[in-house]
Amino acid sequence: MKIVLYLTFFILVFSGCENSHDLKEIAKKLQNEKNQTIKSVPIVKKAVKKDLVNKEVEKKVVKKTVTDLNLTTLSKDIISLKFTDNGIVFKNYPNKIVIIDVFTTWCPPCLESIPHMVELQKKYKKSLQIIGVLHEDKIRESTALSFKKKHHINYPLTIGKNNFVLTENWGGVSGYPTIIIFDKSGKYFNHYNGAPPLEMLQSDIKKILRKK
């Protein structure tokens, strides 16, 4: 029974959170298993990660129901966006690669990707800006602030209804996290559903930096 639970859990984790109820129920059952942790099955974790995470997906058509949009960060700063035919111009971050991480606080693969984002923001701080887009409409601001502090997040997190306007305007999201990468001009470059390995994200960044 434990093996079945672990396999199911990791398939959901590394393919993205699509059914939050199922994932929460499995996680609850695993927590009830005494003296057992997720780390006890590293081979399963590695295999699922290789097979299910390394998948690029085609960009959905930008709906462009709005042209300009402002996102509000937890520190009350405003991030101004302008939608274009081939991406999004981030007015606050000219000449920078921008990664949007659409996530929730309850989703295991979202938690899996956060340390990668923190490391990338630190390593490429001169040429990269990551924006965490919190996709929870009922979360308290104090809870989000505590989450940011707990996970040592070193990039802005946005909160509020405009987060949903952003994803709807882009074409929606099918799971969490959804990670969207834009080059220095705001042109769409790539995106992932689920938590991609750090090496894949670094590869994308390096490809953009090599572009003239």
Conformation bin of residue 79: beta by default, left when phi > 0, alpha when psi is -120 to 50: beta
- Answer whether 175's CB lies under 8 Å from 183's CB: no
| Residue of 63 and 11 predicted with greater confidence | 63
Exposed/middle/buried for 194, CB within 10 Å: 0-12, 13-18, 19+?
Answer: buried
Give residue limits of the domains in the chain: 2-53, 68-210
Topology of the domain comprising 68-210: Glutaredoxin (3.40.30)
- Answer whether 200's CB lies under 8 Å from 120's CB: no
Instruction: Give the range among 15-29, 48-62, 70-84, 150-164 with minimum mean pLDDT.
Output: 48-62
Residue 177's nearest CA partner among 123, 116, 125 is 116
| Residue of 44 and 88 predicted with greater confidence | 88
Per residue in 3-61, pLDDT tens? 444 444 444 444 567 544 444 454 444 444 433 332 322 322 332 333 334 344 454 44
Mean model confidence pLDDT for the chain: 80
Q: What is the pTM for the complete model shown?
A: 0.74
pLDDT at site 1: 52
Q: Quote the CA–CA distance of 21 and 191 in Å, as a whole number.
A: 25
pLDDT at site 211: 83
Q: How many CA atoms lie within 13 A of 64 on its CB side?
A: 10
